[in-house]
Amino acid sequence: MSKAARTYVAVFGGYRCDEATAAAAEEVGRLLAEAGCIVVTGGREGVAAAASRGAQHAGGLTLGILPSRDRSEANDWVTVAVPTGLGETRNALVVMDADAVIAFPGLDGTLSEMAFALLGGAPVVSLGGWELARDGEAESRIVPADSPASAVAAALALSRSS
Amino acid sequence: MSKAARTYVAVFGGYRCDEATAAAAEEVGRLLAEAGCIVVTGGREGVAAAASRGAQHAGGLTLGILPSRDRSEANDWVTVAVPTGLGETRNALVVMDADAVIAFPGLDGTLSEMAFALLGGAPVVSLGGWELARDGEAESRIVPADSPASAVAAALALSRSS
Amino acid sequence: MSKAARTYVAVFGGYRCDEATAAAAEEVGRLLAEAGCIVVTGGREGVAAAASRGAQHAGGLTLGILPSRDRSEANDWVTVAVPTGLGETRNALVVMDADAVIAFPGLDGTLSEMAFALLGGAPVVSLGGWELARDGEAESRIVPADSPASAVAAALALSRSS
Amino acid sequence: MSKAARTYVAVFGGYRCDEATAAAAEEVGRLLAEAGCIVVTGGREGVAAAASRGAQHAGGLTLGILPSRDRSEANDWVTVAVPTGLGETRNALVVMDADAVIAFPGLDGTLSEMAFALLGGAPVVSLGGWELARDGEAESRIVPADSPASAVAAALALSRSS
């Protein structure tokens, strides 16, 4: 399949996550892989590891954009690891030019990834965590989802490559 | 005055802003300069230009971290311009290791700067705009202020260099 | 094959190149793919395109680290494209943590990639172009090669993953 | 003096240097400051520290572009410190849009700074160290100098701001 036909979806969330969140992230990864998407993550633990595991077990290709200079920092389910040496600034690259992103609950790094996704114009689907408002109005560009299946369906429907 | 004695405060907000916001940003710049701080901005228009103008008119030193490779992109009140060629990713550098940050209303770029300030552990003082909550609870690390004077007072009181 | 078993080899050189150089780069890409390596390039024209084409035609996986924010900038033989928005500064990332690099003739960008490869400790195999000396002594860490086959053989023999 | 009237000259070389080199770098810094230039360095030890010391003792303004996220990493003679968190990739920023650069002997990091200076079109004046040739011809854009005074004179004469 040619590069032009591939859809890249970034999945991000906490570096630490509970079992229910990990299961949901793994399911998101699996569904994205089954839809033929390349799953992009920050390449490390928590939500990134679970989503990559789900995608790779379903035969998908996963891309991990790492903070350090060291490829071995990637989790075991990253097909292609990209060391950046940018530290947390690499969060901007995780979502750069993504066709859509799916956000799980997380901390400040997750917030920065939501910000850069919005800045870059990617559709943002949220499975909880950060809620953003500006001047008293909820941010309308963030699409809430209540399950892995609905998150993936929304991401694919809104995807810039579709 | 030695480097170690200087306090760096980042000021950010919209690339476009109304006159009242510009006046407030200019006042913040002036007060920070009078307190001996180096004022760090993204070096371009709107809030960044107003804050730099206020600081430079008060004899302060201003630092502009630019998105492009071209120093001439800086506004006229930037004392030291740093071209980065990083595009919007340079937002991470505007707040990196700041002793405190003051946020004005702005769009996605402003949100990314708030996120990186929180991620880096800098005290964040807000003069309006983005409101953040997580799992239903307002983000408690953001300190609201209702005037330039109270914003600067809070930033200096919470500053990591104080 | 697990990530840990993959070898990443960066191939770089001129943005423009003559037909003989393109043919050699394509051959290098093919041989690397046949050896099971992931071929990393800057993702655009000239040597990068030829090496990616050779690798992809041989069934290999190619990674393109792009200067712009726009994935569509990648050439047609990049399997996984990584937009960075870093401009030419992304040259540092093309060779970061590579197990080995193969340099073709090129201009200043190629020189910067050789420098970062040396800085990062990767074995550097050269098929011509830049010659470096320091204080009157030729740089001994650069391994000259006179054919695609000998370049790939040297890169694999010296590879940090071997 | 307005920003537009300032000339930025980057000075770089080894992280470690002998006393004669340190004395020459200090003299370069002093002469650049006396000419009204802002001296840009990587902000750390060796040549960067010596050049900054010379410039600051002469009343000049020095800018240090740091590899880490931590401003305190700067040497004592940096007036304005810019943490980047980019590691060695920050070498590209040290010379970005410089009006001219002066290279002292150094290792791979110094080579990368020469490469990015050439790539960006800055005049490069060399006080020894790396010698570059391409396809058998010495790189003609590098201007050799044999003393601090002649290096500074050449940098100012060739400066893009002059």
Of D2, D78, D80, the CB nearest to B76: D2
Chain A residues in contact with D69 (beta carbon < 8 A): 87
CB contact under 8 A, B135 and A112: no
CB contact under 8 A, D86 and A88: no
Q: Does residue D159 carry a pLDDT above 50?
A: yes
Q: What is the pLDDT of residues C72-130, one digit of tens each?
A: 999 999 999 999 999 999 999 999 999 999 999 999 999 999 999 999 999 999 999 99
Name which of B124, B7, C70 is nearest A98 in CA terms. C70
Which residue out of D2, D44, D71, D95 would a mutagenesis test of the B interface target, given it has the greatest number of B Cβ atoms within 10 Å?
D71
Decide the pairing of beta strands B124-126 and B130-134.
unpaired
CB contact under 8 A, D3 and B76: yes
Please, what is the average pLDDT of chain D? 95
Decide the pairing of beta strands A100-103 and A124-126.
parallel
Cα separation, C133 vs D10, whole angstroms: 22
pLDDT 10s per residue in chain B (162 long)?
A: 444 459 999 999 999 999 999 999 999 999 999 999 999 999 999 999 999 999 999 999 999 999 999 999 999 999 999 999 999 999 999 999 999 999 999 999 999 999 999 999 999 999 999 999 998 999 999 999 999 999 999 999 999 886
Decide the pairing of beta strands C124-126 and C142-144.
parallel
Cα C149 vs. chain centroid, distance in angstroms? Answer: 15
What are the CA-CA distances from residue C113 to residues A87, C42, C61, C87 (Å)? 21, 10, 21, 13
Closest chain B residue to D63, measured at CA: B80
Closest chain A residue to D69, measured at CA: A87
Q: Are B131 and B141 in contact (CB under 8 A)?
A: no
Cα B13 vs. chain centroid, distance in angstroms? Answer: 7
Chain C residues in contact with D89 (beta carbon < 8 A): 89, 92-93, 116
CB contact under 8 A, A63 and C80: yes
What are the CA-CA distances from residue D136 to residues C106, D123, D139 (Å)? 13, 22, 9
Chain C residues in contact with D131 (beta carbon < 8 A): 132-134, 136
Which residue out of C15, C21, C84, C89 would a mutagenesis test of the D interface target, given it has the greatest number of D Cβ atoms within 10 Å?
C89
Q: Number of Cβ pairs closer than 8 Å across A and C?
A: 58
**Per-residue pLDDT averaged across A124-137, rounded?**
95
CB contact under 8 A, D80 and B78: no
List, in sequence order, every beta strand (DSSP E) within A29-96. 38-41, 62-66, 80-83
Confidence category of residue D160, pLDDT binned at 50, 70, 90: confident
**Per-residue pLDDT averaged across A130-134, rounded?**
96
Helices (H), C64-147: 91-94, 108-120
Cα separation, D94 vs D101, whole angstroms: 10
Please, what is the average pLDDT of chain A? 95
Smallest CA–CA distance, residue C91 to chain D, in Å, is 9
Decide the pairing of beta strands D38-41 and D8-12.
parallel
CB contact under 8 A, A132 and B129: no
pLDDT, position B162: 64
Element (H, E) at B105: none
Q: What ipTM was estimated for this complex?
A: 0.95
Nearest 10 degrees: CA dihedral of B24, B26, B28, B34?
-150
List, in sequence order, every beta strand (DSSP E) within chain B. 8-12, 38-41, 62-66, 80-83, 100-103, 124-126, 130-134, 137-138, 142-144
φ, ψ dihedrals at B75, nearest 5°: -70, 170
Element (H, E) at C139: none
Cα separation, C116 vs C110, whole angstroms: 10
CB contact under 8 A, B89 and C89: no
List, in sequence order, every beta strand (DSSP E) within C50-160. 62-66, 80-83, 100-103, 124-126, 130-134, 137-138, 142-144
Which residues sit opposite B40 in a β-bridge? B10, B63
Cα separation, A132 vs A128, whole angstroms: 11
Confidence category of residue C2, pLDDT binned at 50, 70, 90: very low
Kindly list the partner chains of chain C, i.e. chains with 3 or more CB atom pairs below 8 Å.
A, B, D
Chain C residues in contact with B89 (beta carbon < 8 A): 85-86
Name which of C43, C35, C16, C21 is nearest C107 in CA terms. C16
Closest chain D residue to B98, measured at CA: D71
